[in-house]
C-alpha cells in the first residue's frame, strides 16, 4: 500500500515537473515573439522613415516623391489592424519607384544620395529577415499550443493566440542587388 502511494506520488511529481517545463517553454516562446515583434516594428519604422526622408530630400522626381511619401506616411500612421496592408503598399511603392537601376543610380549621384540609397537598401533587406524571425517564433508557439496537454491544462494562461505578420516584403530588384 505504501509503495503504491509512493509510486503515485512520484508519478504526479514527474507529471507536474513536465507540465511546468512545458509552461516555461511556452512562456519563453511568447517572450521570443514579443522581442521579434519589437524588432520587426523597429525595422518597419526604419524602412518607412528612410523612405519618407528620401521622398522629401528632392533627389527623386516629384511624382515618385509623392507616391513614396504617401505610402511611407501611411505605413508610419497605420493602426494595428491595417498595418500589414499599409506596409505591403509601401513595398509596392518602393518597387514602383526603384524598379529600375537608372532610378537608383540617379539617387546615388545626387548630393547625399549614396548614403540615403545605401540606408534604404539595408532597410529593405532587413525587413524580410525580421518578419521571418517573428513568423518562425509564432509558428513554434502555435505548434506547442496545439498540443492537448497545453489546452487541457491551460498552460498558455491568458496569453493571446500568436498571429503571424503577413505582408508583401519583396524588395525592389535594383535595391536588393545593391544590398547584397
Digit-coded pLDDT (tens) for 106-135: 888 888 888 888 999 999 999 999 999 999
The pLDDT score that the predictor gives to residue 47 is: 96
Most confident of 1-10, 37-46, 93-102, 150-159: 37-46
pTM over 0.85: yes
Digit-coded pLDDT (tens) for 6-23: 999 999 999 999 999 999
Answer positive or negative: Cα dihedral of 45, 128, 122, 53: negative
pLDDT level of residue 93 (50, 70, 90 thresholds): very high
Contact 26, 155 (CB under 8 A): yes
Amino acid at each position: 500500500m505504501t509503495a503504491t502511494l509512493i509510486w503515485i506520488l512520484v508519478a504526479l511529481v514527474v507529471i507536474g515537473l513536465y507540465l511546468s517545463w512545458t509552461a516555461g517553454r511556452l512562456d519563453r516562446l511568447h517572450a521570443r515573439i514579443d522581442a521579434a515583434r519589437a524588432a520587426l516594428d523597429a525595422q518597419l519604422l526604419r524602412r518607412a522613415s528612410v523612405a519618407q526622408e528620401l521622398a522629401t530630400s528632392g533627389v527623386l522626381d516629384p511624382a515618385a516623391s509623392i507616391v513614396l511619401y504617401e505610402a511611407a506616411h501611411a505605413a508610419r500612421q497605420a493602426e494595428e489592424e491595417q498595418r500589414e496592408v499599409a506596409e505591403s503598399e509601401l513595398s509596392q511603392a518602393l518597387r514602383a519607384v526603384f524598379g529600375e537601376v537608372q532610378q537608383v543610380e540617379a539617387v546615388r549621384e545626387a548630393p547625399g544620395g549614396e548614403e540615403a540609397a545605401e540606408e534604404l537598401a539595408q532597410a529593405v533587406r532587413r525587413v524580410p529577415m525580421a518578419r521571418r524571425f517573428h513568423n518562425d517564433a509564432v509558428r513554434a508557439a502555435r505548434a506547442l499550443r496545439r498540443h492537448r496537454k497545453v489546452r487541457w491544462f491551460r498552460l498558455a494562461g491568458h496569453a493571446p493566440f500568436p498571429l503571424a505578420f503577413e505582408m508583401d516584403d519583396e524588395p525592389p530588384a535594383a535595391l536588393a542587388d545593391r544590398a547584397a
